[in-house]
Structure 1
Amino acid sequence: MLKVFMMSTNDVPGYRGDRKGKANSVMNFRQVEAFRTVLITGSVTKTAKAMNVTQPAVSRLLKDFGKETGLLLFERDGTGLKPTQEARQLFEEVNRAFVGLDSIMQAALQIRHKETADLSIAAISTISINVLPELVQRILRRFGNHPIAINTLTTPEVISEVKQDMAGLGIVELPVSIDGLSVERLPPIRPLVLLPKGHRLSKKQIVTAADFHNENYVALPSHLLHRAKIDRIFADQNVEPRLVAEARSTFVAARLVSLGVGIAILDPFVAKTLRSEVDLRPVDFDIQYEYIIVYKYNRTLSKRERYVCDYLHDKFTEFSQTDLE
Structure 2
Amino acid sequence: MRRAPVRRWVATRRCCSKEWQGEGRCRAERCEDTMNQKQLNAFRMVMRHGTITAASRAMNVSQPAVSRMLADLEASIGFPLLHRPGGKAVPTREAYEFFQEVERMFYGLDRLGQVAEDIRALNRAFCRVASMPMVSFELLPQTLKRIVTEHPGIDISHDVHTSPRILDLLASRQIDLGIAQTDPGRKDVEVLAAYRTNCVCVMSPKHRLASRREIRPGDLDGEPMVALNFRTLTYTYLMRCFAEAGVAPKIVTETQPSYSACALAALDVGIAVVDPITPGIFGDRVRVVPFSPSVPFDYQVLKPTGTPMSRAATEFFNLFQETIASQPHFGEQVHNKTA
- TM-score bracket, normalised by the shorter chain, equals 0.5 to 0.7
The alpha-carbon deviation at position 167 of structure 1 amounts to 2.0
Kept in 2: contact 1:168–1:295 (CA 8 A) = yes
1:257 corresponds to which residue? 265
User: Quick one: which of 133, 141, 144 aligns to 2:141?
Assistant: 133
2:309 corresponds to which residue? 299
Q: TM-score, normalised by structure 2?
A: 0.52
Alignment of 1:172-187 (within 5 A): 172-179=180-187, 182-187=190-195
The alpha-carbon deviation at position 124 of structure 1 amounts to 2.9
Kept in 2: contact 1:217–1:241 (CA 8 A) = yes
Kept in 1: contact 2:199–2:290 (CA 8 A) = yes
The alpha-carbon deviation at position 126 of structure 1 amounts to 3.3
Offset from partner CA, 1:122-179 (integer Å, 9 cap, x none): 2234333553234323432333375320123344543453455432212121324553
Q: TM-score, normalised by structure 1?
A: 0.54
CA distance in 2, matches of 1:163, 1:316: 30
CA distance in 2, matches of 1:260, 1:154: 25
1:234 corresponds to which residue? 242
Larger radius of gyration: 2
Offset from partner CA, 1:280-321 (integer Å, 9 cap, x none): 111113421222212355435336424443245427732338
Other structure's SS at 1:118 match: strand
Kept in 2: contact 1:186–1:313 (CA 8 A) = no
Deviating 4+ runs (over 4 angstroms) = none
Specify whether residues 246 and 130 from structure 1 end up closer, same or farther in structure 2 by C-alpha distance, changes over 3 A only: farther
User: How many matched pairs?
Assistant: 207
Specify whether residues 315 and 290 from structure 1 end up closer, same or farther in structure 2 by C-alpha distance, changes over 3 A only: farther
1:310 corresponds to which residue? 321
Other structure's SS at 1:139 match: helix
Specify whether residues 294 and 223 from structure 1 end up closer, same or farther in structure 2 by C-alpha distance, changes over 3 A only: closer
Unaligned runs of 5+ in 2: 1-122, 333-339
Kept in 1: contact 2:214–2:290 (CA 8 A) = yes
Specify whether residues 206 and 244 from structure 1 end up closer, same or farther in structure 2 by C-alpha distance, changes over 3 A only: same
Specify whether residues 246 and 299 from structure 1 end up closer, same or farther in structure 2 by C-alpha distance, changes over 3 A only: closer
Fraction of identical pairs, as percent: 21
Kept in 1: contact 2:324–2:331 (CA 8 A) = no
2:130 corresponds to which residue? 122
Specify whether residues 216 and 155 from structure 1 end up closer, same or farther in structure 2 by C-alpha distance, changes over 3 A only: closer
Kept in 1: contact 2:237–2:296 (CA 8 A) = no
Query: Is 2:239 the partner of 1:248?
Result: no
- 1:222 maps to a residue whose letter is F
Specify whether residues 256 and 155 from structure 1 end up closer, same or farther in structure 2 by C-alpha distance, changes over 3 A only: closer
Offset from partner CA, 1:81-128 (integer Å, 9 cap, x none): xxxxxxxxxxxxxxxxxxxxxxxxxxxxxxxxxx98733202234333
User: Quick one: which of 200, 211, 219 aligns to 2:208?
Assistant: 200
2:331 corresponds to which residue? 320
Question: How large is the Cα RMSD of the aligned pairs?
Answer: 3.1
CA distance in 1, matches of 2:228, 2:189: 30
Specify whether residues 176 and 126 from structure 1 end up closer, same or farther in structure 2 by C-alpha distance, changes over 3 A only: farther
- 2:311 maps to a residue whose letter is L
Kept in 2: contact 1:187–1:316 (CA 8 A) = no
Alignment of 1:142-181 (within 5 A): 142-144=150-152, 147-162=155-170, 164-179=172-187
Alignment of 1:30-109 (within 5 A): none
Kept in 2: contact 1:119–1:304 (CA 8 A) = no
Structure number having the greater strand percentage: 2
CA distance in 2, matches of 1:180, 1:261: 39
Offset from partner CA, 1:235-294 (integer Å, 9 cap, x none): 332323233332233211101111122211001121222233211111113421222212
Unaligned runs of 5+ in 1: 1-114
Offset from partner CA, 1:47-80 (integer Å, 9 cap, x none): xxxxxxxxxxxxxxxxxxxxxxxxxxxxxxxxxx
CA distance in 2, matches of 1:137, 1:274: 22
CA distance in 1, matches of 2:254, 2:317: 38
